């Protein structure tokens, strides 16, 4: 009996597992589908997504939510496999969805483990072979297909391959950038890489004294002194800099850029003039207090003390009644805008996604097939595509997996 042709999928993460399911459903047993995963089990990263709840899509997903040299590369895939397709797909494997704030889609049961289990059960039902602890170190392409070389395992031949090896973000969960090496050796170009959806480090030392403080405020990102975006929400001071969802989202937009500043507004609902007037009236009302307590009941007192010091008040034991008009003006300005120079990020170890990746223009956006090597496909985060915070990255993993699988099974 003739052996079945093989579709090998390198990487058993979000896009690799779904590509295998789509391919197996479409091929109806005519081809053998094998997932090769370097970790001891598939889908480790899925368990960590959405704080363990797996924000697996966003109802508003559109190419505007993606970044890279050519975000429009996502358009066709998102039109063929959109967020409703994702909801239907998960329903087909027993996972009910729910929609939350800003269009974020989660499993109704709030458990990322249920998403991973449902994917594993479906792979099993469809007879997809999974080989774990199977890192691919090299790919040799020739006329008959591909030879996949693994240092610790026997090599494997396949007629078609999907490289679904992810980027460099959170290497402890599997994706260590080795997919980029495989593609570079096959003459594909990889753009500059940088962590995104990540905490930002600041040059200013005063953040250390604010470590652990959370506040609802507005963060605006500037690149070369030009404002590029702002985000409002809960911001966290840490010993190295800034964290929280607004900062994560801004890190998506400032990735790969230099000379970044984050300007914080501690009272975004009030104008500078209103803040100034509030401080002037408090000086009278709270004249019996010391400056160190001037902000109590207005904004976080430690943040207030930081603005007082920056405004030139040397000793916080200074009676409130003695705060000068000039100090009040400066404090109001600092409450509306305290500037932090960004010195870097917390690195790939802490990042949720990779900015940069394999050059999209070397792939066909209708099939995800390489324009350089026939029969080679890529899916997910390995591309020079990264999405906003809110379910967009997993949606891209599924949409790209769908197109790659549809085309790769046509052997
Ligand atoms: C903590 C965290 C939370 C996140 N939360 C969300 C969220 O809520 N919503 C959202 O949309 N996105 C989220 N993301 C991003 C999202 O998880 C990724 O963008 C998505 O998983 C990418 O899918 P992928 O299949 O391309 O890569 P991955 O899921 O990274 O999978 C790649 C797989 O390939 C394997 N591999 C790598 N190299 C090789 C090799 N050489 N040989 C064999 N196997 C290999 C890896 O071990 C891994 O299992 C989060 C990411 C992190 C780290």
Cβ-based neighbour number of residue 253 at 10 Å: 17
The SS3 of residue 70 is coil
- From the alpha carbon of 43, which atom of ligand 1 is closest? 49
> Does the CB atom of residue 400 touch ligand 1 within 6 A?
no
Question: Ligand 1 pocket check: which of 39, 45, 177 to mutate, most ligand atoms within 8 Å of Cβ?
Answer: 45
Closest protein CA for atom 6 of ligand 1: 49
Q: What is the pLDDT along the chain (411 residues), one digit of tens a residue?
A: 578 999 999 999 999 999 999 999 999 999 999 999 999 999 999 999 999 999 999 999 999 999 999 999 999 999 999 999 999 999 999 999 999 999 999 999 999 999 999 999 999 999 999 999 999 999 999 988 999 999 999 999 999 999 999 999 999 999 999 999 999 999 999 999 999 999 999 989 888 899 999 999 999 999 999 999 999 999 999 999 999 999 999 999 999 999 999 999 999 999 999 999 999 999 999 999 999 999 999 999 999 999 999 999 999 999 999 999 999 999 999 999 999 999 999 999 999 999 999 999 999 999 999 999 999 999 999 999 999 999 999 999 999 999 999 999 987
Tell me the CA–centroid distance for residue 37 and ligand 1, in Å.
12
Tell me the CA–centroid distance for residue 29 and ligand 1, in Å.
27
Which two tokens mark 409?
């099974």
> Does the CB atom of residue 14 touch ligand 1 within 6 A?
yes
Measure the CA–CA gap between 195 and 345, rounded to whole angstroms: 7
> Does the CB atom of residue 236 touch ligand 1 within 6 A?
no
Which residues have a Cβ under 8 Å from the Cβ of 228 and sit 6 or more positions away? 221, 222, 253, 254
The SS3 of residue 184 is helix
> Does the CB atom of residue 380 touch ligand 1 within 6 A?
yes
Question: Ligand 1 pocket check: which of 166, 185, 193, 380 to mutate, most ligand atoms within 8 Å of Cβ?
Answer: 166
Give residue 205's pLDDT: 85
Beta strand 129-131 with 32-36 is parallel
- Return the C-alpha torsion angle 285, 291, 297, 299, nearest 10: 130
- From the alpha carbon of 169, which atom of ligand 1 is closest? 53
What does pTM read for this prediction? 0.96
- Going along the chain from its start, the domains and CATH numbers come out as 6-193+357-408 (3.50.50.60), 199-346 (no CATH)
Question: Ligand 1 pocket check: which of 18, 41, 49 to mutate, most ligand atoms within 8 Å of Cβ?
Answer: 49
């Amino acid at each position: 009996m003739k052996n079945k042709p093989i579709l090998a999928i390198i990487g058993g993460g979000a896009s690799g597992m779904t590509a295998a399911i789509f391919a197996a459903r479409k091929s109806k047993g005519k081809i053998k589908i094998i997932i090769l995963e370097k970790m001891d089990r598939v889908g480790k990263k899925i368990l960590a997504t959405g704080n363990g709840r797996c924000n697996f899509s966003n109802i508003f997903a559109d190419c505007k939510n993606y970044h890279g040299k050519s975000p429009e590369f996502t358009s066709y895939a998102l039109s063929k496999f959109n967020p409703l397709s994702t909801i239907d797909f998960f329903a087909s494997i027993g996972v009910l969805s729910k929609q939350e704030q800003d269009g974020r889609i989660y499993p109704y049961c709030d458990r990322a483990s249920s998403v991973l289990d449902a994917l594993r059960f479906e792979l099993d039902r469809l007879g997809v072979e999974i080989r774990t602890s199977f890192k691919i170190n090299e790919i040799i392409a020739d006329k008959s297909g591909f030879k996949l070389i693994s240092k610790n395992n026997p090599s494997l031949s396949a007629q078609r391959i999907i490289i679904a090896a992810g980027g460099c973000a959170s290497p402890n969960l599997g994706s260590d950038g080795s997919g980029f090496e495989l593609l570079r050796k096959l003459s594909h170009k990889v753009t500059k890489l940088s962590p995104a959806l990540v905490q930002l480090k600041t040059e200013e030392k005063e953040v250390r004294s604010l470590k652990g403080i959370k506040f609802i405020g507005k963060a605006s990102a500037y690149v070369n002194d030009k404002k590029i975006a702002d985000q409002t929400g809960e911001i966290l001071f840490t010993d190295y800099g800034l964290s929280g969802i607004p900062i994560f989202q801004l890190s998506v937009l400032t990735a790969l850029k230099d000379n970044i500043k984050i300007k914080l507004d501690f009272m975004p609902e009030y104008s500078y003039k209103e803040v100034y007037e509030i401080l002037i009236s408090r000086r009278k009302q709270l004249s019996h207090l010391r400056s160190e307590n001037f902000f109590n009941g207005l904004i976080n007192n430690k943040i207030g003390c930081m603005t007082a010091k920056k405004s030139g008040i040397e000793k916080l034991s200074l009676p409130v009644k003695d705060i000068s008009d000039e100090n009040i003006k400066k404090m109001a300005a600092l409450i509306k805008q305290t500037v932090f120079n960004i010195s870097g990020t917390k690195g790939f170890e802490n990042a949720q996604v990779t900015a940069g990746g394999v050059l999209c223009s070397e792939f066909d956006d209708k099939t995800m097939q390489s324009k350089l090597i026939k029969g080679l496909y890529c899916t997910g985060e390995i591309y020079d595509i990264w999405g906003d915070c809110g379910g967009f990255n997993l949606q891209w993993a599924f949409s790209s997996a769908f197109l790659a699988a549809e085309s790769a099974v046509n052997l």
